[in-house]
Amino acid sequence: MLNKRTSANAWFFTILISAVLILELLYLLQSCYQKPKDQVNNQEATPEVAPPVTQADFLGDQSCRSCHAQAYDDWKNSHHDQAMQPARPKTVLGNFENATFTSQGVRYRFYQKMVSTGSTPKGQMVNITTTK
């Protein structure tokens, strides 16, 4: 009778261990399965789309001053604020008569008439005129 009980216990534990292993295997397989994106319930945030960019005009230096007072004062008290003025006989302080400048293979020649002439890398001459 001791043999039958030992045999029954062995079968019971074998079935129990097998059932536990099968359940663990099913759990592992289920956790490896990825749901298709259309079945995911709000787990991925929808990216926000930026509004279209509209053409903006320069609002004037005073509009910058309201938020950036220190940077505005530094800029206004330097020569950089004068560099942003339209090129006019009163605002162009340097002598650009027949001055030349070369950058990246392009040679520019400046005239006091507010016209600059440059050659492209292909040798084509180009005039850039500033209105008075």
Least confident of 22-26, 32-36, 103-107: 32-36
46-75 pLDDT tens trace: 667 777 777 777 777 888 888 999 999 998
11 vs 16: CA distance, rounded Å: 8
Q: Is the pLDDT of residue 22 over 90?
A: yes
Hey, how many other C-beta atoms are within 10 angstroms of the C-beta on 66?
8
The model carries a pTM of: 0.31
Q: How far is CA 7 from the centre of its chain?
A: 72
**In the prediction, which pLDDT does 100 show?**
87
98 vs 116: CA distance, rounded Å: 9
**In the prediction, which pLDDT does 130 show?**
61
Phi/psi region, residue 126 (left: phi>0; alpha: psi -120 to 50; beta: rest), is beta
Q: Is the pLDDT of residue 24 over 80?
A: yes
Least confident of 11-15, 92-96, 106-110: 92-96
- Residues with Cβ within 8 Å of residue 82, at least 6 apart in sequence: 91, 93
Q: What is the overall mean pLDDT for the chain?
A: 78
Q: Is the pLDDT of residue 20 over 70?
A: yes
